[in-house]
């Protein structure tokens, strides 16, 4: 039974957590855009979609930033 090096395991977890956090931030911006009636609403929507695609898409495809 071999012992795994903990550094790559922790770094992989940190990388995946970062991408999930970016995606979750995008979802939050999308939800906030529905509450806004001024000009910032569409900006929140576009930014939220981009962040969600970047975060969750990068997590699913395994892309590292």
Is the distance from CB of 16 to CB of 49 less than 8 angstroms? no
pTM of the model: 0.75
CA distances from 52 to 7, 9, 11, 20, 38 (A): 28, 25, 22, 9, 22
Q: Alpha-carbon distance 46 to 36, whole Å?
A: 13
pLDDT at 43: 94
Q: Residue 1 — very low, low, confident or very high, per pLDDT cuts 50/70/90?
A: very low
* pLDDT per residue as tens digits for the range 13-53: 777 788 889 999 999 999 999 998 898 999 999 999 999 99
pLDDT at 5: 75
């Amino acid at each position: 039974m071999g012992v795994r090096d903990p550094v790559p395991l922790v770094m992989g977890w940190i990388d995946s957590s970062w991408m999930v956090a970016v995606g979750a931030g995008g979802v939050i911006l999308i939800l906030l855009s529905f509450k806004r009636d001024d000009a910032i609403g569409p900006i929140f929507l576009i930014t939220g979609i981009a962040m969600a695609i970047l975060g969750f898409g990068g997590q699913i495809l395994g892309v590292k930033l």
